[in-house]
Amino acid sequence: MSRSSQFSKTSLSRGSNRAQDARLDIRARALCDPQNSAFFDARVCLPNAESYRDQEPQQIYRVHENGKKRLYSRRVLDVERGSFTPLVFTTTGGIGKECIRYHSRLAELIIAKKGEHYSQTISWIRARTSFVLLRSSLVCLRGSRVKRRTAFDCNNCDFEIAVAEGAIDTV
């Protein structure tokens, strides 16, 4: 049964994204479960906005995580047969609870594969994420000059050297 016919037979909740071409930002195989795919959708918010003036950072993260879950969670579970995790970031460098768990799981998998230290690995992940978010913010502000895609090879990366060269403080 194709996904399109499966989608038409599945009744999604009222707030779900029902578009046939709805796509999530990231798909990873065997991240949470060896047999299933994990889907992620990122959102970046401005915590200093007037609408968030009376809210604590954790409340802001929870609002955005719940919004993403409302849009995609049921669709991923029923149609894609995978797990869904919303990744919420702020423009000031904060990350939501679900994103922290995702970073920890990713660090665990890298440690198991490469035998690195947890503190160096998690620092490297956070630094790479910060640079990607910064780069995307700059592209939004000034526009893209050249489209180029480079694949990052995690197998040939020495985390100790990357942390030292980047002057990343390990916790």
In this prediction, residue 55 carries a pLDDT of 92
| Helix, strand, coil shares, percent, the chain, to 5 | 50, 15, 35
Pairing assessment for the beta strands 26-29 and 37-45 based on DSSP bridges: antiparallel
End-to-end Cα spacing for the chain:
49
Per the listing, tokens 């030292």 go with 164
The predicted model gives 46-64 an average pLDDT of 92
Mean pLDDT over each residue of the chain, to the nearest integer: 79
* pLDDT, tens digit (0-9, with 9 covering 90-100), for 73-123: 888 888 778 888 899 998 888 899 999 999 999 999 999 989 899 999 999
CB atoms within 10 A of CB 40: 21
- A 10 A CB-CB count for 89 gives 20
Q: What angle do CA 140, 142, 148 make, to 5 degrees?
A: 75
Residue 4 has pLDDT above 80, yes or no: no
